[in-house]
Amino acid sequence: MTWFVIICIALAISVALNLFAIWYCARLLRELVQVSDSLEGLVVDVSNFSKHLEGVYELDTFYGDQTLENLLSHARVLTKEFDRYEVLFSLREPPEPEEEDFDDTAEET
């Protein structure tokens, strides 16, 4: 009879620990998805900023300005760094690189 009680208590503890583990994993996954989505939005914002800065730099008024050139360089480095982190934290599959069709047999005449 005592073995039966010990087994029931062990089973109850095991079920409770498994339910806690499932709840905790689900909570962590929700937070990871939120972080991934936030990082994706941040990457888009930094990329848009970099493109806007390039547009301003190309204006005749600002072309060749050293401060804008340094800021543009910094934005490019920051964009590359965020791209690296996006690959690490992204929960979606990375897009497949597009294959270009090269026809080595066709020659121009």
What pLDDT was estimated at residue 108? Answer: 44
- The b-or-e profile of 54-78 (16+ CB within 10 A means b, else e) is eeebeeeeeeeeeebeebbeebeee
> What are the sequence ranges of the domains in the chain?
28-92
| CA atoms within 13 A of residue 69's CA, in its CB half-sphere | 5
Return per-residue pLDDT of the chain as tens, 109 residues.
789 999 999 999 999 999 999 999 999 999 888 888 888 888 888 888 888 878 877 777 767 778 777 888 888 888 888 778 777 776 666 555 555 544 444 444 4
